Amino acid sequence: MEVNQIQKETQTSQKEGAQTSHEKSDIKNYIIVALATALIVLGLVWIRDSGNTDVPTGNVPAAVGAAQVPSAPRVPLDMKTLADDDPFLGKEDAPVVIIEWSDYECPFCERFFSQTLPQIKEKYIKTGKVKLVYRDFPLDIHPEATPAALAANCAGKQDKYFEFHDKIFENQQSMGSTSYKKWAQEVGVDVSAWEKCTKDPQQLQEVTKDLSDGAQAGIRGTPGFIINGQLVSGAQPFSVFEQIIEAELS
């Protein structure tokens, strides 16, 4: 009887030990999975915040990795053809041509507009060294990007493109049809003709062409730039543009 009792107690103890070991293993596995998940989430947040670029979800292939910097390869493109007939700042025959593809609702595009563009204007555009061409690249994650592009392009039909362009970026949090009409009045266009233009299917085709040309040229997010054939992605600081421009001028 005593031997049987000892055997039963031993078996019970072994089972309890196995259960405890199994529970510890489960807890360990749970902790490992939780830590791995946290690291993945942190990595995605870092990529999103460090890229300085908004990327699309459907209309063109999504960007991969960090923004390209001055070492980006030069692409064999005809800059004159790529610039199309879109609005530009600077001398038409400037030695350096920057083509920007942008989205009016993109926060990184606004950052470039407010922080970097003023320095490029002052040092290179006003001095005749750079021509900057603006082309639309409305992302499908931004519902106001295309309406804003149409509104600006139609203001451009009355020679008020950049006045309207600036209004949008200066008031990005107020985008919408009511604001567009208000800004059209403020920049001094014929509002009736402007409204008619925004409903013209041909204007939408122009925006779509900008998007298509950009995608074919390698643009994968906004803002995206081609500087004399060199692709640069993201709202890079002025020093990045300065380095490329100076190399092109030398």
**Spatial CB neighbours of 138, under 8 Å, sequence gap ≥ 6:** 103, 104, 105, 145, 146, 148, 149, 207, 211
The pLDDT profile of the chain, 250 residues, written as one tens digit per residue, is 444 554 444 455 554 554 444 444 555 554 444 444 444 334 433 333 345 666 654 444 333 223 334 445 565 667 777 787 899 999 999 999 999 999 999 999 999 999 999 999 999 999 999 999 999 999 999 999 999 999 999 999 999 999 999 999 999 999 999 999 999 999 999 999 999 999 999 999 999 999 999 999 999 999 999 999 999 999 999 999 999 999 999 9
Residue 209 CA, distance from chain mean position: 18
The CATH architecture annotation of domain 79-249 reads: 3-Layer(aba) Sandwich (3.40)
The phi, psi pair for 191, rounded to 5°, reads -65, -35
pLDDT at 80: 75
Give the start-to-end residue ranges of the domains of the chain: 1-50, 79-249
